[in-house]
Amino acid sequence: MKLPRTLLLASGLLASGLFAQTPASPGTAAGSTNLLDASLSQWEVFIGVPHASVTGLPAGTFQATDVTKGTPLGLNHDPKKVFSTFSENGATVLHISGEIYGGLTTKKEYANYHLSMDFKWGDRKWEPRLNQKRDSGILYHCHGEHGAFWQVWMSCLEAQVQETDLGDIHLLAGTKAKSRFRIVGEKKNIFDPQSPTPWGYWTGHLSASAEPDRPHAEWNHLEIYVVGDSAIHLANGVVLMAITEALDKNGNPLKSGRIQLQSEAAECFYRNIRLTPITAFPPDLAAQAGLTTPAGANK
């Protein structure tokens, strides 16, 4: 596990004691929703194109070595039980096998919230990422049709969940957002709220400011704060990413949408998925992330 790149940022947050389960701060609205139950009643499943190596599928199922093209299994058709639940110490745990690319998607759209959950890796990996890092993701502000990206996920903003890359952001299917970052090495963009460069748009992927991952098979605590078209990502109490002025592919402000959890060729587990309405970012978080207003940033 790599040491955090932004030690001051991480130590400042840890010293402040600002973790997901701290008392409600100014800007927190009443009520918190548990999004996870045994029957996944608040979610729907969309399964993408199975890799050619997947066995035990119904006769006639389309399969390919390039799983980003072709005919997906589709909505609420999960013959391999990629998404399932079990009970552990009285709590519901979501098991994602990873065997086929897919998305577990909330039935409702959400805006202005604090989303928190626990996450850990399993052991199994699958094609087409058998020899790559374990990968998943929390997709938010999801909108439009299923399958907009790689025949499986919706157009959205992605908080990366990948080994050594928690909290990175990917912009899927035409979305855009501004951040403040610095360039390291081979044009690698890294979020840096202290960068002298102004907040600006970039394309594709932006790396998180630190790597606070816990060892394999240990639980990590992941959080996303969303206010308007701005968001902050955290893992294990450390601020990793902030964005603002998010846009959809048509250039419209992106302030709400559904939430998706990815299956992306790696076994993983989620628990304690909770969503709490908020009206503003907690002031300490906003300051550390470089955001100075509920839906804006230093520019």
Q: Which residues contact 33 (CB under 8 A, 6 or more apart)?
A: 274, 275, 276
| Residue the block writes with tokens 């890799």 | 51
Q: Where are the beta strands (DSSP E) in 173-236?
A: 176-179, 181-184, 188-191, 200-201, 205-206, 220-227, 230-235
Cis preceding linkage at 294, omega within 30: no
pLDDT at residue 190, rounded to an integer: 94
H or E element at residue 154: none
Helix, strand, coil percentages in the chain from 3-state DSSP, rounded to 5: 5, 45, 50
| Residues facing residue 83 across a β-bridge | 96
Question: Residue 228 burial by CB count (10 A; 0-12/13-18/19+): exposed, middle or buried?
Answer: buried
Check: pTM over 0.85? Answer yes or no. yes
pLDDT in tens, the chain (299 residues): 333 333 333 333 333 333 333 334 445 556 899 999 999 999 999 999 999 999 999 999 999 999 999 999 999 999 999 999 999 999 999 999 999 999 999 999 999 999 999 999 999 999 999 999 999 999 999 999 999 999 999 999 999 999 999 999 999 999 999 999 998 887 678 999 999 889 999 878 999 999 999 999 999 999 999 999 999 999 999 999 999 999 999 999 999 999 999 999 999 999 999 999 999 999 999 999 999 743 444 43
Residue 52, token pair as written in the block: 């050619």
What's the rounded Cα separation, in Å, for the pair 243 and 89? 37
pLDDT at residue 15, rounded to an integer: 33
| Residue the block writes with tokens 């998607």 | 105
Residue 124, token pair as written in the block: 């199994």
Residue 60, token pair as written in the block: 């006639």
pLDDT at residue 28, rounded to an integer: 53
**CA nearest neighbour of 207 among 194, 222, 189, 192:** 189
* Structural domains in the chain plus CATH codes: 7-19+32-289 (2.60.120.560)
Q: Which residues contact 20 (CB under 8 A, 6 or more apart)?
A: 114, 116, 221, 223, 234, 237
pLDDT at residue 29, rounded to an integer: 53
Q: Which residues contact 44 (CB under 8 A, 6 or more apart)?
A: 75, 76, 104, 105, 107
**CA nearest neighbour of 156 among 169, 135, 140:** 140
